[in-house]
Structure 1
Amino acid sequence: MTRRLVMWDIDYTLLRGGGVAARAWRSAFTEVTGVDWRATPNFGGRTDLDICAEVFTSHGVTDCTPERFFARYVQIIHEIKHEFAEQGELMPGVREVLGRLGDHPGVVQTLVTGNVPEVAAVKVAAFGLAGSFDAEVGGYGTDDSVRATLVRRSLERARTKYGEPFRPVVVGDTVNDVTAALANGAVAVGVATGATAAADLIAAGAHTVLPDLADADAAIRAITA
């Protein structure tokens, strides 16, 4: 039986970060570029590379690279990592669903997130979730600016590491998560726990849309169907 590779988005799917990462992003940007922060982009469902390009353009920055910016951003995140647990929270049902899927022999869980990998690791570790995921086979915001490519990279990494094909399943809260899943032939499970309405996730083509993960049985059925 082909196992499922369950690719979890982080922000507003697994947890809320309480604005900690956004504050670190603004601080790092000003420190590295010397330019005052003027406009906050829409972060939802986007990759950090994509957001970085927009922020540099909107602020007229031409003499900085994403790599330089991300290096300082990651440093700040590590300095304030305790704030995620203090100011953020897990979304309903997450711990139970991850635990039950972790015991499922036909499932490998990983992260496909717009976050850079170091920040993704800090966020999930803040809530004691790091052991739930094979982070080595994830897709991250430094892989590409296009979300669909992150899903493809994760699937390639899993196939290489485990030496077997997988049935990909993407779980996320934005239209970008859904369209990235569909572009790779993955099952798209939407959760309406972020800013995107359930109706919009359905319209984007999600195979299943849940209000949240509080009904663990329903979530596991959707993910393993």
Structure 2
Amino acid sequence: MARLVLWDIDHTLIDTRGVGRELSAAAFLRTTGQPMREQAKIDGITEPVIFRETAKLHELTTDRADFERFAQALTEEHLKRAAALRERGHALPGAAATLDALDAVGIQQTVVSGNIRPVAEIKLQVFGLDRLILWELGAYGEDDDTRAELVRLSLQRAHATAAEAVLIGDTPADVEGAHANGVRVIAVASGRSDEAALRDTGAEVVVSDLRDTELLVKLVRGDD
């Protein structure tokens, strides 16, 4: 039986409704001195890779120190505009209820996200979804470039085996990162990937959203 859920954040638990891109653009300008005319692919991608690839689109070469400055600026922009994030974004239907229901049956919950940890914490705090997350067990964008390594790190930090964990996410990258570590996946078609695309990636279960909390608890526990 699973005892640990690894949550993705964006388009799984919350939707920033474009505010996230605006905050990234502000941090990019502060870090590079150039306006962000376009952004690299973001779905399922970690923050260091998004920053590096976005910089390349602007004919810029960056290093780890540049990313760390960007990460600091991104955190500050999220803190400064938390009210806008709250007003324009929203928790996805069923997110809060599912977190509560899993906690009620003793399932530990953490985050495996391409976001850097401070931003992940702000995003969930803004929408009241942070109180049941065991942040120290998670893995975040600053930890590694790849989803698979983030899943591995989280399992290590939680002292959990692959069989004891379930990842819940909305992208093929979430599915692939979990499967690279032998972790079962519940894919949620609440992002840009539809149910067919998530099934094609190999997700064990695909749901349209998080509204059916009773079903989700059963799926996480592996009940027949």
Tell me if both proteins adopt one fold, taking TM over 0.5 as the criterion. yes
Partners in 2 of 1:219 and 1:63 — Cα distance?
A: 42
- In structure 1, the residue corresponding to 2:97 is in which secondary structure? helix
8 Å Cα contact 1:3-1:165 kept in structure 2? no
Structure 1 segments, 4+ long, off by >6 Å, are none
Q: CA RMSD in A?
A: 1.4
Counterpart for residue 68 of structure 1: 69
**Equivalent position of 1:154 in the other structure:** 154
- For the 8 Å contact 1:101–1:220, the answer to whether it is kept is yes
Aligned position for 1:90:
91
One-letter code of the match for 1:149?
A: E
Counterpart position of 1:192: 189
Does the aligned pair in 2 maintain the 1:30–1:37 contact within 8 Å? yes
Are 2:106 and 1:109 equivalent residues in the alignment?
Answer: no
Secondary structure of 1:7's aligned partner: strand
Question: By how many angstroms is 1:36 displaced?
Answer: 2.4
Q: Unaligned regions of 5+ residues in structure 2, if any?
A: none
1:59 is matched with 58
Q: What letter is aligned with 1:206? A: A
Aligned residues: 219
CA distance 1:63–1:202, change in 2 (3 Å): closer
SS in 2 for 1:110: strand
Residue 73 of structure 1 deviates from its aligned partner by: 1.3
CA offsets 1:148-193 (integer angstroms, 9 cap, x no match)? 111111111111xxxx656121000000001111001101110000
Pick which of 46-55 and 33-42 moved more.
33-42
1:61 shift after superposition: 1.8
Deviation for aligned residue 1:63: 5.5
Within 5 Å, give how 1:1-225 maps onto structure 2.
Answer: 3-62=2-61, 65-105=66-106, 107-159=107-159, 165=161, 167-225=164-222
CA distance in 2, matches of 1:39, 1:22: 10
Change (3 A) 1:165 1:190: closer
Q: Structure 1 vs Structure 2: percent identity of aligned residues?
A: 36
The structural deviation recorded for 1:50 is 1.1
Deviation (angstroms), 1:74: 0.9
Code of the aligned partner of 1:31? R
Distance 1:74 1:224 in 2: 35
TM-score (norm 1): 0.93
SS of equivalent to 1:121: helix
Q: Distance in 1 between matches of 2:97 and 2:75?
A: 29
